[in-house]
Each structure stands twice: as structure tokens, then as C-alpha cells.
Amino acid sequence: MSWKAIHRWLGLTVGTLAVVLGISGAILAIDPVQQAWQARAAPGDLTVATLVERVTRTVPDAEEIRHLPSGAIVVFSFAGEQPQASYIDPTDGRVLGPWQASVLPRWVKNLHRSWLLGDAGRWLAAGVALAMTVLCASALVLLLRRMGGWQRLTKKVRGTLAQRTHVVTGRVVLLVLLLTSVTSLTMSASTLGLVVLDVGTEPEVLSVVSGQPALPGAQLAPLQSLLVKDLRKLNVPGATDPEDTWKLTTAQGQGWIDRYSGQMLAWQDASLAQRVVDLAVVLHTGESAWLWAVVLGLVGASVLLFWLSGFFIWRQARNQTPKITGNVPMAQADVLIFVASEGGSTWGFAQTLQDALSLCGHRVHTSALENFQTTAATGQVLVLAATYGEGQAPAHASGALALISKLKATNVPVSVPITVLGFGDRQYPAFCAFSEALERQLRSQGWPALLPLECIHQQSAQQFARWGIALAQALNEPLVLAHVPRVPPTTVLTLIGRQNFAVAGGQPTAILRFAWPARGLRTCLGTHGLVRFSAGDLVGIVPPGSSVPRFYSLASGWQDGFLEICVRQMPGGQCSKHLLALKAGDNIHAFIRLNPGFALPQTRKPVLLIGAGTGVAPLAGFIRRNDRMRPMHLYFGGRDPAQDFYFGPEIERWLGEGRLTSLQTVFSRVPQGGGYVQDALRRDAERVRHWVSQGAIVRVCGSRAMAQGVADALDTVLAPLQLSVAKLKSKERYAEDVF
């Protein structure tokens, strides 16, 4: 079982019980704080001998002096037959008033420690503490994976409100929650007798009656050298028992003092187990450290926030994850389908394939690629693998190649045919690179194939249907793959404004602005296709008559109160034609796809923005939200400033406001226009090197050809610094959004 699965199911089950422990723990944290505020603490240089002298003067029948974790001094005595406990002012021994153990209801403590069930409840609490330790450990693993390691733990968190709440809260309090879980286990082990705290039986010690009067406590040498801050408890010898001794307890152990000579008769060091448990009590309860108790109270209350945000994340993932219907158990299936998908769309193709194979009489089981294996019943294996980013595997399948490699080492039979179908986008050089790597791995290990590798471009249902024809012929079965792509939940956006740009032989272009829907709970939680987005994220738009969304880079963030894109008419482009025909008041159906790799990190380092044509859209969004006035330098390339200087007036205004530090424009179709952006970068080589040497973040947006030209130019410009685009990418300082 993966860390993610462990965390999910423990969170949904044990997490419910942990909410009770967290809230009750937060209530209990009030007590150490209140006790500390009420305590009249002893001066740091006050000795126990002096304290005894002051106490016995005001409470002559004192039987025990206790130094509470809060710092208060409490004296236990009898008034006749009635026991009493009193707060004492350690500076003069005055009685300040009666002492009560706690102002909180006892049942709250019993609920927290034993679920109000006695010994059985203590075992239950121990079990919950163990589960919480595993839950916190899994959360730490997942947090580090999501953020990219310890070094990137403080970077900006993206996603829905629930996701951001869960992650941000986690990185603030997770280590404290892990600590409280471990200390709870330690305390439970002590309470349940699973560890031995005592070093042995107490020694039989008696004061030697010498006929001389007992020494006053102030004259006992061991008490004269001991500070009150190190005292836990001091038992005064009884007046009616001449052989009774003084008993001293500190964190280091306990000792017995002769009442006549003042000599230490015996000493027992505290066991290591006792010291560990004592430390666990302080760390778990905040006793003797009221500021830490405040932290513990806040962390305990955060458990409810954790559980609620985790529940919403789970529900959203459950709603969005394609549910494969008709799955038979893997051991009984004669056809296995394995899927690697980053956004979830490939699962829809898998469902279509499974349904078609089932109609042909096959028993089919579909699972994620990281579960790859074969069984005795397996006759065919089909792998549907999407490629993510620059040729990587989808996150969930990142270890698939290693897994398949290990299967050879375990001598798994390789007679079952395995056919790979790739999904990708031909606009990217790494088109279907992961599926190609899978194909090479499988063939090198000797696995046969029913069909050669086929790659589907942009989730084309037509290509998938053609591949289905080839598969039907290879199987000699009437297989038909009629796929209707799944689209995430969408919402309706209304066009509220547009800027049209002259055609002049080119493609029509417009900047379209849509109203951002009312920010209700569903919007914040991202349950209807929209999440809190930023410039550089993508909006998916489903045009009428199509089930395949098209994606556009956003030129605005949610803080702007609107959603803005720049659209150019593409040859044969169904979606761009639809968008450019919209009028004010018309609606579209859209959803957000986050693009965290293109987002700007939270830093004051300079930013180098390079864009051409409509690719300036997300860069304009970055500048628009540059409220902190960090240095931003824009290189913009177009054809003619009179026709395609998109966001031109806004860019000039931002330059005047200081949101944009410098601007370099080039236009390739006008005399003295300066050529292309890569030409401008070469001309400004010294300035570019200066910015990069200062740690500049680089963002490039435009066509694939333009991005390649920029990369080549920057490699040349940065060579004197022994830097390159590849090195900047490895340091996450360079990212592209290309089309």
C-alpha cells in the first residue's frame, strides 16, 4: 500500500477520533497556561532550605511542600482532621489561598486519556496515538514529495482552498503533531505498565535517634545546596515518629535525609525510562512551559481543520477520479489494462477500451501502471501511458519503469503480449517520450507485443478509434472503440469585454475578459471546475459540438476579479473560432488546470519575461500582479506594433507604475523593427548576464519555434557565466509555456 493510500484511509477513519483528542487536548492546554499566570514563582536563587524555613513559620503543621510545573508552591497540611492544600508565596511564606488541582472538568481529561472507558479506553487511546504517529509520518512524506523536498518546503502552495489549507497547515504544525503522537505513545506505555519506571524498591532508611533535637529544615545541608527551581517535592517528617526522615524528590531522583544529623541516608537516581516519560509529559501537556502549552492548544485545535480539509480533498478526488466499471478481479482477468495519467483523461480511454473488450467476451481488469503485474489467467496486457512535462512519467507512475525492470530479476514469465498506447501532444519535442521509454524497456526484457507502439495526439478520439480497428484485426474480434472524452466539472463564464486586433492578412485575435463567478463555498473548494487560479495557469474551454477541451494561458489571477485570455484564430480551430465569435453577455463552459511549474516563486530576485504574440498573455498577468514591485524585465516580440502589440497600453502603464522595470519590443514585419526576441536578447547580452548572475527567474511563452530560438540565444549569451538553459531548468529558474 502506498503512503498516499495509508494517509488517506487513516485520515478518514482514525482522523475522526483524532479530532476528539485534538479538541480535548486544546481544552486541556488551557490549564497549564492558567496555572502559570496564577503562580507566584520562586526567585531563581531561592534555596529549598530558605523555603522550608518560611513555610514552617506560617504553616507549622506542613507535611509536604510541592513545586508544581507551573512554578507555584503548594503546601499540604491538616487542619485538625481536615486535609488542606494552600498556595504559598515563596518570597515570605504567606498563604495566598486554597489550591485546586484543575479548574477544568475532570471528564475532559478522562475523555482525552481514556475515552471515558477506563483501562479499555487507555488501550484505545494508545492505539489512536500509534495510528496518529503513522498518519503524521505519511503526511510528512507526502508533504515533502509535493513541495519537492526540504529546500522547497516554504514555496507557494497551489490548488483549491481545501488543498492549500491542508498543506499550509501541515507544514506549520505537522512536526508538532508528530511529536505529540510519539509522546502520547510514551505516556501510554507508562500508564499501561509496558515500561518499568522504578529503579527498584525504596530503601529501608530510618533516622538514627540520638537523643538530640531534630534539626530545623533550614539547617539541613542537602536542602541548603538545592535551589527551589530544581525541587519537585519535599516530604516533612512526622512529629509523632522520631525515626521518620525527610524525603526529597527532584528530576534527578529521590533521597532520604536524616532529621537529626542532616546527612543524606540514601539516594536513588531516576531511571532513564522515568526521565524519558517526564520529558514526554512536558512536551505533551505543556506543564512547566506555558508558551509551549499555547502552541499545543493551537495545534490540537488544528486537527479539526486538518480533518475537514482532508475530507474535502478526498471527496473532490473521489468525484474527479474516473470510476472504472465492470472490473473483474485481477486474478480472474484474461486482459489487463494499466494506465498512467497525469490529469485523469487517459482513464476515460481505458474505460472505453474495457467496455469494448468486455462486449467481446473478455474478462478485463484495469488498474494504475504502478500496480503492473501478470497472473496465470493473463492473456493480453494493454498499457495506456500519457507523457507529462518534458517527457516524464505521470507522478503516480514515476516508479513504473523501475518496477518493470525488477520483474525480470524475479524471473517473471515474459510470454504474455504487452501492447503500449501512448498519449501526448506533438507540439512538444518529448511527444510520448514516456510511452516510448516503456516500449523500449518491455522489448529489451523480451516481452512480446500484439501491436507496435502507437501514439495519440491531443487525446484524439479519431486516432483512438483507428487504433481500435488495428487491435480488432490483431485479436480477430469485432472490437469498436467509440470514445467520448471525459471533461472535468465546468462552470459558466460570461464575456464582459473584448479588445479586437487588426487582421491585415494575419489571423483575427482578441483579448477576452470573462466575469469571475461569485466566490461562494463551491468556488473556494473548486468543486465546480474553478479553483483559485493565477496568471500562467490554464483555462480549459469546451466548444459547442465538441467534447475535447482546448487550453489557453491565463493573463489574470483570481485576485483581479476576472478571467482573461488572448485568443488567435487558428487554421481549422473550432474553439478559437467559437471564442472570437462571442459577444458581450455570451457564455462559455470552462474549468481551470493549474500550471504550477510556470508560476513565479515568492522571491525578490529579478524576473526575465520573454514572450511573442499571444504568448505575452501570462507574462502580462505576472506584471499585473507585481504589487511588491520586484524587478521585472519584459522582452516582447510581434509582427507589427499597429496590429499585434497585445496588452500594449497596459504594459506601458505598468512600466510607468513601476510594476514593470524595463521593456524591450521587437517587431519582425516592419522596417527597423529589431527582428525577433532572440535577436534582442543577443543585443542585450551584458544586461541579460547581469540579471541572471543576480539570480533572475526566466519565463518564456510563445510558439515552440520561438522558445527554441530563445533557448539557443540564451545558451550563447550565458556561456561566459558557465550557465545554460539546461542548468537554469535544473535549478527551477527557467520554465516555458509553449504552443
The whole-number pLDDT of residue 386 equals 93
Q: What is the pLDDT of residues 26-56, one digit of tens each?
A: 998 888 888 888 788 889 899 999 999 999 9
- C-alpha grid cell, residue 245: 526522615
For residue 409, pLDDT over 60 is answered with: no
Average pLDDT across the chain, whole number: 87
d(CA 34, CA 38): 6
The whole-number pLDDT of residue 527 equals 44
The whole-number pLDDT of residue 415 equals 81
**H/E stretch holding 688:** helix 685-693
Q: Do domains 330-475 and 491-597 have the same CATH topology?
A: no
- C-alpha grid cell, residue 434: 514516456
Longest dimension (CA), the chain: 121
Are the C-beta atoms of residues 386 and 424 closer than 8 Å to each other? yes
Polymer length of the chain? 739
Nearest of 372, 375, 371 to residue 1 by alpha carbon: 371
Domain 330-475 class, CATH top level: alpha beta
Q: What is the pLDDT of residues 443-492, one digit of tens each?
A: 999 899 999 999 997 778 889 999 999 999 999 999 999 887 667 788 89
Name 86's bridge partners: 75, 98
Alpha helices by DSSP H, listed for 557-665, are 574-580, 616-624, 641-644, 648-657
> Contacts from 476-481 at CB under 8 Å and sequence distance 24+?
477/360, 478/360, 479/356, 479/357, 479/360, 480/356, 481/352, 481/353, 481/356
The arithmetic mean of pLDDT across residues 120-147, rounded, is: 86
Q: What is the pLDDT of residues 334-343, one digit of tens each?
A: 999 999 987 6
Q: What is the pLDDT of residues 168-202, one digit of tens each?
A: 888 888 999 999 999 999 998 888 888 877 766 77
The whole-number pLDDT of residue 39 equals 84
For residue 535, pLDDT over 60 is answered with: yes
- C-alpha grid cell, residue 573: 480551430
Domain 491-597 class, CATH top level: mainly beta
Most trustworthy range by pLDDT among 268-272, 286-290, 350-354: 350-354
The arithmetic mean of pLDDT across residues 286-302, rounded, is: 89
Share of the chain above pLDDT 90, in %: 49
The residue with greater pLDDT, 301 or 154, is 301
The amino acid that residue 386 corresponds to is: A
d(CA 11, CA 5): 10
pTM strictly above 0.85: no
For residue 392, pLDDT over 50 is answered with: yes
For residue 524, pLDDT over 60 is answered with: no
Q: Enumerate the domain spans of the chain.
A: 3-31+108-183+297-317, 41-105, 330-475, 491-597, 600-738
The arithmetic mean of pLDDT across residues 235-259, rounded, is: 92
The arithmetic mean of pLDDT across residues 645-656, rounded, is: 95
Q: What is the pLDDT of residues 48-106, one digit of tens each?
A: 999 999 999 999 999 999 999 888 999 999 887 888 999 999 999 999 999 887 767 78
The whole-number pLDDT of residue 403 equals 85
Most trustworthy range by pLDDT among 257-261, 502-506, 519-523: 257-261
The arithmetic mean of pLDDT across residues 409-430, rounded, is: 75
Q: What is the pLDDT of residues 677-692, one digit of tens each?
A: 999 999 999 999 999 9
Are the C-beta atoms of residues 726 and 636 closer than 8 Å to each other? no
User: DSSP per residue over 626-643, as a string?
Assistant: -TT---EEEEEEES-HHH
CATH: 3.40.50.300, 3.10.290.10, 3.40.50.80, 3.40.50.970. Which one for 600-738? 3.40.50.80
